[in-house]
């Protein structure tokens, strides 16, 4: 039992859009993991500084920065998990479309909800990624708060 060229074209064209989504989400995931790594490194640096610093005027802002960075790390972790789930759901969508075409059965009842879940996970991921960007500004304001003339 072979697959005709017409069937192969239909299978490939049904899989193109979801595969493009995987590429786009993977780039976002790369950006998020880079950001997550920077947040973790910054937190470790601040904790080292806290161990050394005994001066309360310098210690308090650092403790607050560590709290903010920990919050950012949790938010970024959630964004990364949701992006990964998005890619997983797209992969399941592609497999179901492929299996449906090869087996000659309609898999729309399965592939369409999977693709919808993928998009919902992507939306959630982007929401948390945007939240992290906003929170990072709060941490920066704490860090540069002692510099005169830095407030808008």
Task: Give all strands (DSSP E) within 22-145, no chain letters.
Answer: none
The answer to whether the beta carbons of residues 43 and 69 sit under 8 Å apart is yes
pLDDT surpasses 70 at 121: yes
What are the tens digits of pLDDT across the range 23-81?
Answer: 899 999 999 999 999 999 999 998 888 888 778 777 887 888 889 999 999 999 999 99
From residue 5, give the alpha-carbon distance in Å to each of 2, 11, 15, 19, 105.
9, 10, 15, 20, 18
Query: Any idea where the domains of the chain sit in the sequence?
Result: 5-144
Q: What percentage of residues in the chain have a pLDDT greater than 70? A: 89
Give the C-alpha separation, 97 to 80, whole Å: 26
User: Whole-prediction pTM value?
Assistant: 0.80
């Amino acid at each position: 039992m072979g697959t005709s060229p017409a069937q192969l074209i239909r299978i490939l064209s049904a899989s193109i859009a979801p595969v493009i989504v995987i590429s786009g989400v993977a780039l976002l995931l790369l950006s998020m993991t880079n950001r997550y790594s920077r947040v973790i490194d910054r937190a470790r640096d601040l904790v080292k500084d806290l161990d050394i610093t005994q001066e309360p005027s310098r210690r308090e802002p650092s403790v607050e920065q560590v709290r903010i960075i920990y919050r950012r790390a949790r938010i970024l972790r959630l964004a990364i998990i949701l992006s990964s789930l998005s890619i997983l759901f797209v992969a399941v969508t592609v497999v179901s479309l492929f299996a449906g075409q090869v087996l000659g059965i309609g898999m729309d009842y399965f592939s369409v909800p999977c693709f919808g879940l993928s998009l919902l996970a992507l939306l959630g991921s982007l929401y948390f990624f945007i939240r992290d960007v906003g929170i990072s500004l709060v941490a920066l304001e704490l860090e540069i708060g002692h510099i005169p003339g830095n407030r808008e």
